[in-house]
Amino acid sequence: MMTGALAMANTATATGFCGSNVTPGNVSSFNCGNIASIIGAGSTFTSGYLVYNSTYQFAQTGSPTLVTNFSFSGATYALATDTLTTTDAITGQGSSPAVSSASNPFVLATGAPIAAGFEDAFTAPVGNLIVNYTDTLSGGTVLNNQVNDFAEYVINYSYTVSSTPEPATMALIGGGLVLIGTLRRRHSKSTKA
C-alpha cells in the first residue's frame, strides 16, 4: 500500500496597486494591505518592494515645483523616507521625471500592473504596508491643479503543495488489483484443465 505525500516547493510573485491620488496639497496614505492576506496561509514571504512616484501632467503657469515627502511603515524598508522633487520650466510641457533625495534611481515599468517609479525594498513585514505622503506645489500651477501620487507592491513568496492520495482512490486501485489477480487465477486454472 502506498502512503505518504509528495511535497513540491514553488515560488510566486504577487503584485498590486496600493492607491493613486490626483489632488495636490494632500496629506494622505495608501494602505497596500497585509502581506499574510496577500500571499495566503502557509506561504512564506521571501522579498518585496514598493514602487512609488509623484508627477504632474502639464505646467500651466510659471515653473511649478512639486515636492512629495514619502514615508513607509509596516515593514523594514531600505529607505524609511524619501522626498521626490518634480520640476518643469516650460509651460505646456509635462513634468520631468522626479528626483529622489535618497539618490534612489528611477526604474522603468516592469510590466502590468507595475508602473515606472522609484523602488524601495522591504523585509520583515508586520501588519499592513502603509505609504504616507505629503504634496507641496509651488512656483506655478499645473493643468487642472492635478498631480499624480501612486504606490504599488511586488511581493515574492514561496509555498509548498502536498499531494496525498485520497482513501477512495487507494481503495479503487486496491480493488482493481484484487480483481486482476482473481481473473488471472481463474484463467490459469481454466488453461490447465
Domain borders along the chain are: 10-162, 165-193
Predicted confidence at residue 193, as pLDDT, reads 61
Predicted confidence at residue 169, as pLDDT, reads 72
C-alpha cell at 125: 513585514
Distance of alpha carbon 54 from alpha carbon 130, whole angstroms: 16
Predicted confidence at residue 156, as pLDDT, reads 93
Distance of alpha carbon 141 from alpha carbon 118, whole angstroms: 24
Q: Which fold has domain 10-162?
A: Jelly Rolls (2.60.120)
Phi-psi region of 179 (alpha: psi -120 to 50; beta: other; left: phi over 0): alpha
Predicted confidence at residue 1, as pLDDT, reads 45
Q: Of 37, 20, 192, which is closest to residue 125 (Cα–Cα)?
A: 37
C-alpha cell at 170: 487507494
C-alpha cell at 132: 504616507
For the chain, list residues with pLDDT below 70.
1-5, 24-26, 89-95, 109-114, 163-166, 187, 190-193
Q: What is the pTM of this model?
A: 0.75
Predicted confidence at residue 132, as pLDDT, reads 94
